[in-house]
Structure 1
Amino acid sequence: MDARQILQKYYEYANAGDWDRWCDLFADDQVMDEQLAGHIEGLEVLRSMMKGMGTMYRVFRNEPVHFLVDGEKAAAVSHLTAVSASGEPIEAEVMNFFRIVDGKIAYMANYHDTVPFQVLSQD
């Protein structure tokens, strides 16, 4: 898969709640700087963390708006719509940066408004 296809699958799998296939897009030694979860290194750590996604959200949709791809670097602008486990709505604009090496996401960082996610600390 090329970088654009990987980005498309990233959002497709996330929106389907298919976190196993979503994790398969990442390299074994992946590094992620996730605005809420912090610094995450290694695919197995990421897989373990993602097992909780189904209980954190009743609804989770992250719809891509625009992709920018330049070789192994890519960015995606998206809109996230979710409902927390307690039923609180979440709406946020998101910007993700990716470095894709040998067909896998080697590095990812995300940036978004954290205020809508404060409901998660109350769940």
Structure 2
Amino acid sequence: MTTQDLIQAYYDAFNAADMPAFLALLSDDVVHDINQGERQVGKAVFAEFMNKMNRCYREQLTDMVIMVSADGSRAAAEFVVNGEYLADDEGLPLANGQKYVLPAGAFFEVKDGKVARISNYYNLNDWVAQVC
């Protein structure tokens, strides 16, 4: 699978809410840099993060553009998050089904055909303004 195909499969699984397929694309020691948050390491920790995300948010990513380095070891994606805030997330405004549309991006490192690092970026202040 090419890096382009890997990143596309990652987002296809995300949009389908297919967590087994999504997690299968990650290395066991995947590094996850959370937007304006901490760095987490490991597939099990990433799975816990996604359980929380799927409880609090329903999201579909559209307008996807994937860019890959010449050697395939790095990739970036730009997209639009179309979401609904379903349940309160710690430290954030109260949830009551607010909808939001948010430009976002991610950077990837790929090793041995798996996602080894992902760093997500979006404007948290924009999101807060949309859900308040």
What TM-score comes out, normalization by structure 2 length? 0.81
In 2, the alpha carbon distance for the partners of 1:62 and 1:47 equals 19
In 2, the alpha carbon distance for the partners of 1:61 and 1:37 equals 22
Gaps of 5+ in 2: 87-95
Higher share of residues assigned strand: 1
Which amino acid in structure 2 is aligned with residue 112 of structure 1? Answer: Y
Q: Cα offset for 1:54?
A: 2.8
Alignment root-mean-square deviation, CA: 1.9
- Deviations, residues 15-64 of structure 1 (Å, cap 9, x unaligned): 1111222111110011011105531111111112212233212x310124
- Aligned partner of 2:104 in structure 1 is 94
- Aligned partner of 2:64 in structure 1 is 65
* Alpha-carbon contact 1:90-1:116 (below 8 Å) kept: no
- Aligned partner of 1:55 in structure 2 is 55
1:15-30 to structure 2, matched below 5 A, reads: 15-30=15-30
**Alignment length (residue pairs):** 120
User: Greater Rg, structure 1 or structure 2?
Assistant: 2
Distance 1:64 1:100, change over 3 A: farther
2:37 corresponds to 1:40: no
